[in-house]
C-alpha cells in the first residue's frame, strides 16, 4: 500500500476516533438533523459539536444540506451506516479484549 493511501486511511479513521464524533454519527444514523437537534440529543456544547461536525464533514463522513437558515447533517451514504453497524459487530466479538486493553487509555 502506498504511503499516500495509508495516510488517507489514517485520516479517515481519525474521524471515527473520538467519543463525541461517534455520538454524532450514531445520532445521524437513521435521520438527518440540525446542529441544535444534535446538541439536544447528545447533551453537548454547540461550539464543540460544530467543530466535530466540521471534522466529520471535512473527512467526507457526513454531508450538510442547507434549507432556509438551517443546515441539516446526515451520513454521507449507506457505506458509512454499514461501517458503523460493522463496528458494533466487531466490538461485540472483541469487547472483552477491549475492556482489558491498557494500551489506549483515554
**Domain regions of the chain by residue span:** 3-100
Top CATH class, 3-100: mainly alpha
State residue 105's pLDDT score.
Answer: 59
Ranges of residues in the chain with a pLDDT under 50 are: none
At residue 65, the pLDDT reads 96
Q: What SS3 class is residue 31?
A: coil
pTM above 0.85, yes or no: yes
Q: Are strands 70-75 and 62-67 parallel, antiparallel or unpaired?
A: antiparallel
Residue with cell 464524533: 21
Total residue length of the chain: 106
Amino acid at each position: 500500500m502506498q504511503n499516500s493511501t495509508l495516510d488517507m486511511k489514517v485520516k479517515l479513521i481519525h474521524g471515527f476516533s473520538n467519543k463525541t464524533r461517534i455520538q454524532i454519527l450514531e445520532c445521524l444514523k437513521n435521520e438527518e438533523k440540525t446542529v441544535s437537534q444534535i446538541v439536544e440529543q447528545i447533551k453537548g456544547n454547540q461550539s464543540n459539536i460544530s467543530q466535530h461536525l466540521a471534522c466529520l464533514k471535512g473527512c467526507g463522513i457526513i454531508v450538510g444540506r442547507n434549507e432556509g437558515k438551517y443546515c441539516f447533517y446526515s451520513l454521507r451514504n449507506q457505506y458509512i451506516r454499514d461501517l458503523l453497524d460493522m463496528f458494533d459487530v466487531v466490538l461485540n466479538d472483541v469487547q472483552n479484549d477491549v475492556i482489558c486493553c491498557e494500551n489506549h487509555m483515554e
